[in-house]
Every structure is written in structure tokens, then in C-alpha cells.
Amino acid sequence: MTRPSNRTPRARIAILCVIGLLGCFGGAAPAPTPPPVSDEEAARFATRVQQFYTMLEGVSLPALMTFENPKLRGYFSSASAYADYYSALATLARQNTLRDGQANSVKVREFRFDSAEQAVVDVIVTGKHERELRFWDIDLERSDIWRRIDGVWVIVPEKL
């Protein structure tokens, strides 16, 4: 003898939906992956990055005087790496018609660690247009790759 079901079709549909949702979301979430660097290391990195980009504010980027700044060179592994980076930065300023090649502000939009030894820093360089009647600011976006070499974070420039 079979027992008559006292569940209505709506109740059966609701039970099937709940079972389906449980199947979609799974029983357990995957374990979060640990960050590639510690919070202290990330804070030290953020400080170093901010110090570097602050030195680019208010100076003429394509100027020889800026190029010869020894403090800027300290953020690169070699003189040729610095020359490559500086050339790309000065070219960016010239091509985008920054007034006097000057960055009024350089802001770090974000940085992310690809690994414990490499990070990508997204930067926005803001300056005035070289034509004074175009009074609005120009925003130039760039991404810089930083690598930890012998415990020191340095910029690895792109080649032109």
C-alpha cells in the first residue's frame, strides 16, 4: 500500500529550488589564499612608492635637472634602467602636451602584488595643458612594475 503524499506541488518545487541552490553554492567556500607579502612589508612598500612619486610632483619631467636627481636614481637597479624609465616618462609628458612637462600631482591609484617579489603600481599623473586656453587638467595613466631585488623594491622600466 502506498501512502498518499500530503505535499502540494508548490512545496515540492520549493524543496527542489532549495536543493538546487545548495548545489550551486556548494557546501564550503574555498579557503582564502594568503597574501604574498605581510602587512608590514606592504606598508613599507607603500611608503617607498609614495616617496618616489611625490618627487615627480611640481618638476619638469623632460628637464635635465630632473633627470640628474640622484634621489630618483636610487629607485632603480642600474643607470640604464633609470634612463629607460625616465625616457618613457618624459616622452609621455611631451606627447600629451603637459604645460612645461610638469606634473602638478602624481597619485597612486592602486598597487597589487603579483607575487612576493613583484608588484604593479597604477599611477595617475595630472598636469595642465600646454595651451593656456585649454584650462582643464590632463590625466595620464601609467602602470609601473616594481620588483624586490636583494630585499629592496625597485622599478623595472619598460623599453621604448
Ordered DSSP codes for 3-64: PPP---HHHHHHHHHHHHHHHHH-SSPPPPPPPSS-HHHHHHHHHHHHHHHHTTTTSBTT-H
Q: Decide: 144 and 56 in contact? Cβ < 8 Å.
A: no
| CA distances (Å), origin 64, targets 33, 61, 67, 83, 122 | 45, 9, 5, 11, 25
Mean of the pLDDT values across residues 19-27? 53
CATH of 36-156, one of 3.40.50.620, 3.10.450.230, 3.40.640.10, 3.40.50.1220: 3.10.450.230
Q: What percent of the chain has pLDDT over 90?
A: 29
The model's pLDDT over 111-157, given as tens digits with 9 standing for 90+, comes to: 999 999 999 999 988 877 666 666 667 888 889 999 999 999 999 98
Length of the chain: 160
> Which pLDDT does position 25 carry in this prediction?
54
The model's pLDDT over 73-104, given as tens digits with 9 standing for 90+, comes to: 999 999 999 889 888 887 877 776 766 666 77
User: What element of type H or E holds 115?
Assistant: strand 105-115
The end-to-end CA distance of the chain, in Å, is 84
> Which pLDDT does position 106 carry in this prediction?
87
- What is the rounded average pLDDT for all residues in the chain? 78
pTM: 0.70
Domain regions of the chain by residue span: 36-156
> Which pLDDT does position 130 carry in this prediction?
66
Q: Other C-beta atoms within 10 Å of 39: how many?
A: 8
Mean of the pLDDT values across residues 37-62? 88
Q: Decide: 75 and 155 in contact? Cβ < 8 Å.
A: yes
